[in-house]
Structure 1
């Protein structure tokens, strides 16, 4: 068994009872920790000047300065150093007050040895930044930050799957990191040197998706002014991630099935098929079995995509990864916002770890971005984390990014509504045609793809017929 990452951590133990001090030192020593034992708050503060421990364990009742006063001093000098207090029965209210003020935790005497060791392990796990991963040399999974057994098992499985060329279906709630895992599979495969291309089938308007995936020829529809290679051709030799595959319209499911069977794509407006060699990874948060039962997802396509299934755990199922991820995101975002960062206060990390996270890793990222943008001190305080957790965490977009996103969605809706008629769309937008064309160009939108009379898709009738069977 490999040594536990937090064993050998140094713990400063403070108690004025020599017997108690000896007992604690023995107990912690035999659990693998390095222990420095002192008999008073003053001695503890002197010791802190000599060597900084990873954790302070102190009795509340001490001669001279008590444990709460020691905590206040420790917090002033080393804000991210966790403190656990040992308290007699009568002093619980003090301890509760101390917890509110940021003490990591307290234990009531007499306490269970296991309870003490668990509390220490928890405090160290939250306050110790991630050491190098056990597989630091494995570049393929470098972007996936984790130390949980659950993720270790999943990554071991993913690595084995990557060696084959089998189609993989990634299941998992929104925000669990399906695209990241798909990328890791690509990097661990023989295709690593070729392109990795991701397409979100739910985010691209139906009218554009076919051209986006399979490409189109010049003149295939109005405004098709040049040949356009689709994403299948762009990913040739590499890996194509079809994200949110459950949102793909039935007519396109037929065409996708044909591409997978024939290993060739036919761009819109072309009579020639182009051979493609692509490894398909698809991802969904939807229940595809239910979608099949309701006739929304083709069974033959499902079995072709689902040769191997990997299921991503929710963030709540890998809770021990939360401190690791939070610190990783904070370091990245502090650079983006040009801030000095020394991490989270221990009680702020504890609050993040205990939260529910319905939006998973993506929500955690958004919360960390919010607190990083608003933090005025190098150490992120509990109050800021509590505030971010109370309000639904939104993606932090700059005003410009948000406006561009709105603008594109607005234009797509207008083109759908007007069937790709630019004159009508410009009239509804109350803009002249030249200006409207400029907007479409800016967002790379092709009006001809929004025509629903079939002119944009030469063989759509035939496929619709297949789709209905």
Structure 2
């Protein structure tokens, strides 16, 4: 099938059918043409056709009857009607019954191509959303986690499945908000280690003074208040995956200790002389180029080379702009479910505008934008959960509170402690609200 789309063309005038078929073919569409609408209906396979273009006035079966027959087979298949000037009122009536658009004859060929592109793009988007919704409802397929139809995302998903069961340490490189932890979790969940723990450590959030104790654990009496033994994050991840986020933030003296763990696959608790063997897979993530950092003396070269046996580079959202519409629509649907509200699907105009925006925060920023849209906070959404299109006051207050918490978490780079300080809330109270509004994973890329 043509990448631009498969068009079913119906018109009772053979000359017009031939001319339009030739033009659409040259423009990159696959075309199936008919002069008899009854034969067109008989041959219609909704799974193989992306759009129907039909004359409104035809013998045997007119455009309105054709529209009804098509919607009976697939109500989401876009139908574009061609009409003479005097039939505009009928065409408008047809749109009320489900037609996608109409063009007056004689129509501009380039305009027809533009209308087809828009209709086919929307159909493909709806198909992809339906597929992903089914996966989200009933499975853990990789496509539903790392969403995107772009070449870059297809390659990332393929590499994850290829590498998941190899016990090799992996370095994930990507800007803030590109989904580094999502990739790390997928590498874990699609591997034989999935039944065991996935332990995430934000290296930038652990104070240097307690880093060694947090990572490697400690023996009883190792320091003041160390009344008993405690296993660290590395031991806790035994059998599973240890995810070291923002590893570029780890102090140089501690990098040497992590390097030894990676090389020896054993850990020594603080204050103990006993080495304990561990079976872990390490995935590290960074938003900086560690090769440049190591050359500048800010990162240990030996640790970099140890981690970079396999390196996955995640694309910026701007590098896969074709995925923006799909991601935004899915995020709006998820937000609507979370907040218990009804939200009108984003219009073509909204999606077109989003595709031109830079989104420095990548997928995370797009997700926040979608949540604000769902809540009606950017002037474009249509949030409602009560008759008349208005939510009751408690629902509106809850939605507003959830948005404030989300923004505070984002401004705090995912740290609930810092977010609690920003909001003037006790840490425990914020944790309860995060759980209530299902904001448990603010650092995930989507």
**TM-score when scaled to structure 1?**
0.66
- Decide whether aligned partners of structure 1 residues 127 and 5 sit closer, same or farther in structure 2, where only a CA change above 3 A counts: farther
Q: Counterpart in 2 of 1:208? A: 210
The 5-angstrom pairing of residues 84-99 of structure 1 reads: none
Give the Å deviation of 1:39.
2.2
Q: Distance in 1 between matches of 2:185 and 2:334?
A: 20
Q: Counterpart in 2 of 1:38? A: 55
Q: Distance in 1 between matches of 2:419 and 2:177?
A: 25
Q: Counterpart in 2 of 1:435? A: none
The 5-angstrom pairing of residues 396-435 of structure 1 reads: 396-398=403-405, 408-409=417-418
- Contact 1:239–1:280 (8 Å) recurs in 2: yes
Q: Counterpart in 1 of 2:333? A: 331
Q: Distance in 2 between matches of 1:440 and 1:348?
A: 37
Give the Å deviation of 1:244.
1.0
Q: Counterpart in 1 of 2:92? A: 70
1:306-338 per-residue CA deviation (whole Å, 9 max, x = no partner) reads 111111111122222222222222222111110
1:248-272 per-residue CA deviation (whole Å, 9 max, x = no partner) reads 1111111111211221122223332
Give the Å deviation of 1:194.
1.6
Give the Å deviation of 1:211.
2.3
Q: Counterpart in 2 of 1:376? A: 382
- Decide whether aligned partners of structure 1 residues 283 and 87 sit closer, same or farther in structure 2, where only a CA change above 3 A counts: farther
Q: Is 1:191 the equivalent of 2:193? A: yes
- Contact 2:55–2:81 (8 Å) recurs in 1: no
Q: Distance in 2 between matches of 1:265 and 1:356?
A: 44
1:336-371 per-residue CA deviation (whole Å, 9 max, x = no partner) reads 110124522222222223322221111111111111
The 5-angstrom pairing of residues 45-444 of structure 1 reads: 51=71, 52-58=75-81, 62-65=85-88, 70=92, 74=95, 83=101, 109-111=108-110, 118-132=117-131, 139-140=141-142, 142-341=144-343, 343-374=345-376, 375-376=381-382, 396-398=403-405, 408-409=417-418
- Decide whether aligned partners of structure 1 residues 398 and 112 sit closer, same or farther in structure 2, where only a CA change above 3 A counts: closer
| Cα RMSD, aligned residues only | 4.3
Q: Distance in 2 between matches of 1:87 and 1:249?
A: 70
Local SS of the residue matching 2:373: helix
- Contact 2:53–2:79 (8 Å) recurs in 1: no
- Contact 1:241–1:282 (8 Å) recurs in 2: yes
- Contact 1:6–1:125 (8 Å) recurs in 2: no
- Decide whether aligned partners of structure 1 residues 266 and 174 sit closer, same or farther in structure 2, where only a CA change above 3 A counts: same
- Contact 1:169–1:310 (8 Å) recurs in 2: yes
Q: Distance in 1 between matches of 2:334 and 2:250?
A: 34
- Return the structure number with greater relative CO, CA threshold 8 A, min gap 6: 1
Q: Distance in 2 between matches of 1:249 and 1:162?
A: 29
**TM-score when scaled to structure 2?**
0.69
Local SS of the residue matching 1:111: helix
- Decide whether aligned partners of structure 1 residues 87 and 64 sit closer, same or farther in structure 2, where only a CA change above 3 A counts: closer
